[in-house]
Structure 1
Amino acid sequence: MPPVILITRPEPYGAEFAATLRTLPGGDLPTILSPALQIGALGTVPDLGAYRWLIFTSRNGVRYFAGASARRDIPVYAVGDATADEARRAGMEAISCGGDARDLVARIIADGARGPMLHLRGAHTAADIAGVLTAAGIKTDEAILYSQRSAPLTDAARACLMGDAPVIAPVFSPRSAAALFNDVPTTAPVVVLAISDAAATCIPEGAAREVIIADHPDMAAMLRAWPQALSAAYRLEGTIRAE
């Protein structure tokens, strides 16, 4: 049986990633969308009068800010290119820090940027950006704009994980990586394509036949690693993919 692609990225970004994969060789395999997280509005935008900079570490942060505030005059530090592009589309001036939270903090400090800053984020975060920056002498506050609630895998997702066909599972965060194998007696040979080391470490030991880690924590690197994941899946199936 040919491999199946299982995408657990929250919407609308899961469907967006699936559509991008379909433009690549091998990306037209059967695909199942089963968001591991449900994203929803939470909290409000505080008074922005004191802030020199806004910080975004996700496209969702930009999306919920843009829907709640008309302010577009405060410049933005964005964790990566996709988040920066989202901010620009919303009408904001954005600097991409080109990586993860460590890259963002390092860029802000290297730039000698002055606070106060405001980190607009989800309820769950992998790094205390406000705390690190404040400790470095750049006063930074934070505001929670959205929630990230766990969602059970769909019946179709569970069935493919309990089947025989190889499964290619791109994971974009530690939480979605952990949710992939939650309460599912997996029998399928799974190839995980992880966006970062942090996401890869959340895969239970022995749950995946192979874990491939993107060379940079962003969408472009995930797409660069796609051929490697695809080849691994066909190797597990025991066939050679036709070119």
Structure 2
Amino acid sequence: MTRPRAASERFVAQLPERLRSRVQVVYSPLLDIRPMEQAVDTTGIRGLIFTSANGVAAAAAQDVRRDLPAYCVGPATTETARQAGWEARMTGETAEELVAKLLKERPDSPLLHLRGEHSRGNIAARLTELGLTVREQPVYRQQLLPLTPEARSAAAGSAPVIAPLFSPRTARQFADLWPGPAPLLVAAMSGPTAEPLENLAIARLRIAKRPTPKKMRKAVKKLVKYAIRLEGAMGAD
């Protein structure tokens, strides 16, 4: 698992127990999340946008106003914001859905998107260009990390390794670090996430049908089934 530890554990916990019993989970986060010290300015802001639980945690650590409505991407981010004290609502499962719904509903603005230092989608700029004023502020950093010794050991073995990758940046880091020669099965969150992997020797690649945790879990399930068949064929040889 390549996401930060808490997010990886949530993802694994939502996989079926029978599937979890068939695999050995190796945690090797490729990003270290660190809050930024710059104070969040909510002067004149009428609502917040959260696209990750990391943004919620960073905002909560700064005690950002809880009387502002929070528009969130995905159930995990929404629930994290609710538990932190915001009146949060899920405004789509993806950033694209959030943009479409906010443009349709036109809530009171300006809104403030609290995001990571490295972010995709240009949510604030796109919404502002289309008439809904949105500001943005990075509230956490995403520092790249190396593979853990446990992950390198798995890569050096003969058993298939399933790598779920959730962003182009972590995919690029993974592609730069993966030593092989273990058979590599990759679940990619999206087409752009798969692009940095083009030079890797991948035994099986599955791209999630939609960039959501639910579709990623489905892709991982299919790869586990493939890995079991692959191990069976290797044992037969």
TM-score normalised per structure 2: 0.90
1:194 is aligned to 2:194: no
Alignment of 1:53-64 (within 5 A): 53-64=47-58
Corresponding residue number in structure 2 for 1:209? 203
Corresponding residue number in structure 2 for 1:3? none
CA distance in 2, matches of 1:25, 1:214: 21
Corresponding residue number in structure 1 for 2:77? 83
Q: Is the partner of 1:25 in helix, strand or coil?
A: helix
Corresponding residue number in structure 1 for 2:231? 237
Corresponding residue number in structure 1 for 2:161? 167
| CA spacing shift, 1:43–1:204, aligned 2, 3 Å | farther
> Which among 3, 16, 20 is matched to residue 27 of structure 1?
20
Alignment of 1:57-136 (within 5 A): 57-136=51-130
Higher deviation after alignment, 183-192 or 56-65: 183-192
CA distance in 2, matches of 1:214, 1:221: 5
Q: Is the partner of 1:12 in helix, strand or coil?
A: helix
Structure 1, unpaired ranges of 5+ = 1-6
Q: Is the partner of 2:143 in helix, strand or coil?
A: strand
| Amino acid paired to 1:26 | L
CA distance in 1, matches of 2:135, 2:41: 12
Pairwise CA RMSD: 1.9
| Amino acid paired to 2:177 | D
Number of residue equivalences? 233
| Amino acid paired to 1:159 | S
Q: Is the partner of 2:40 in helix, strand or coil?
A: coil
Structure 2, unpaired ranges of 5+ = none
More helix by share: 2
Residue by residue over 1:182-202, the C-alpha shift from the partner in whole angstroms, topping out at 9 and shown as x without a partner, is 233321111112222232223
Q: Is the 8 Å Cα contact of residues 40 and 62 (structure 2) preserved in structure 1?
A: no
1:70 shift after superposition? 4.8
CA distance in 2, matches of 1:47, 1:124: 20
| Amino acid paired to 1:64 | A
1:93 shift after superposition? 1.4
CA distance in 2, matches of 1:185, 1:225: 23
Q: Is the 8 Å Cα contact of residues 161 and 188 (structure 1) preserved in structure 2?
A: yes
The answer to which structure, 1 or 2, has the higher relative contact order (CA under 8 A, 6+ apart) is 1
Q: Is the 8 Å Cα contact of residues 46 and 108 (structure 2) preserved in structure 1?
A: yes
> Which among 212, 217, 221 is matched to residue 227 of structure 1?
221
Q: Is the 8 Å Cα contact of residues 53 and 76 (structure 2) preserved in structure 1?
A: yes
CA distance in 2, matches of 1:236, 1:210: 10
CA distance in 2, matches of 1:161, 1:90: 38
Q: Is the partner of 1:33 in helix, strand or coil?
A: coil
Percentage identity across aligned positions?
39
1:10 shift after superposition? 0.8
CA distance in 2, matches of 1:40, 1:30: 28
